Amino acid sequence: MQITRSSPIYVAFTVALVLGASLSAFAAVLNPVADFPASQGDSGYWAQYLIPSMGEFFNLPMQAHYAFVSTESPWGIPKVAKSGAAILMHPGLEPFNADQWAILTFKASVEDDYSFSVQFADADPNGFGCTTNAVVFKNDAFNAPLFEVRSVSKTESPVISGTVHLAPGEMLRFGIAPGAEGYNDTTRLSQVAMTPEPGSILALAMGLAGGGLAGLRGRRMGRAGDV
């Protein structure tokens, strides 16, 4: 079968190309909750903690800190763990009796713009309410967060959204700092839905497909005139 510009296959192929191009124009969307690693490094995610006084990041050992019991609110040990449709994070003080931040790290393997939208909320099972700061930063720059430090508490559940360009090996990090003190600081990170607006994609696709059909009509009229 000869494939011409008027053939349904050609039109379908064009629409698919347009849809693909318009989708790829959007940034990659990070969903740390859905992609939470079953083991360190899965899907580019690591559960870590940071000792700010040392400026060093450490992987959480899964057997002790990375498995998180939803009914506990450990003040001494930083934790990062999946719990239902959210990630629970808790800053800590051990083992050096210094502030530690709970960190969820995404490490890019391909260069792209990465978008994210996450909400932080109190998840203290004891009911006192967390008092934490949520920070999103690139690589090791915890002192210069890309997104403002926000207080998380019983009454404040901030959403932090943004787009960050990452080269291969660069990291986007979600951190929970203890704030004034490190007790009852279990903090929930949940995904806020992020999808490209279907209306804009459809409009773009229909616009280009419409242009193709108009061109087709023009060619047909031209042929008719040749007779």
Count of positions (residues) in the chain: 227
Quick one: which H or E segment has residue 37?
none
User: How far is the C-alpha of 11 from the C-alpha of 127, rounded, in Å?
Assistant: 59
> Residue 177 Cβ, how far from Ca ion at the closest point, in Å?
8
CB-wise, 42 or 181, nearer to Ca ion? 181
The answer to whether 90 touches 123, Cβ cutoff 8 Å, is no
CB-wise, 2 or 97, nearer to Ca ion? 97
> Residue 47 Cβ, how far from Ca ion at the closest point, in Å?
20
| Non-local CB neighbours of 196 within 8 Å, separated by 6+ positions | 22, 23, 26
The answer to whether 187 touches 134, Cβ cutoff 8 Å, is yes
Among 185, 189, 191, 205, binds Ca ion (CB under 5 A): 185
Among 78, 92, 175, 178, binds Ca ion (CB under 5 A): 178
How many chain residues bind Ca ion (CB under 5 A)? 5
CB-wise, 179 or 212, nearer to Ca ion? 179
- 99 touches Ca ion by CB under 5 A: no
> Residue 101 Cβ, how far from Ca ion at the closest point, in Å?
11
| Non-local CB neighbours of 72 within 8 Å, separated by 6+ positions | 125, 186
Which residues 105-164 are close enough to bind Ca ion by CB under 5 A?
A: 131
Coil/strand/helix, residue 112: strand
User: How far is the C-alpha of 152 from the C-alpha of 123, rounded, in Å?
Assistant: 10
> Residue 91 Cβ, how far from Ca ion at the closest point, in Å?
7
Stretch that binds Ca ion, among 55-63, 179-187, 188-196, 200-208 (CB under 5 A): 179-187
> Residue 187 Cβ, how far from Ca ion at the closest point, in Å?
9
CB-wise, 58 or 75, nearer to Ca ion? 75
| Non-local CB neighbours of 118 within 8 Å, separated by 6+ positions | 32, 159, 160, 161, 174, 189, 190, 191, 192
CB-wise, 179 or 196, nearer to Ca ion? 179
- 179 touches Ca ion by CB under 5 A: yes
Q: What residues make contact with Ca ion under the rule CB under 5 A?
A: 131, 178-179, 181, 185
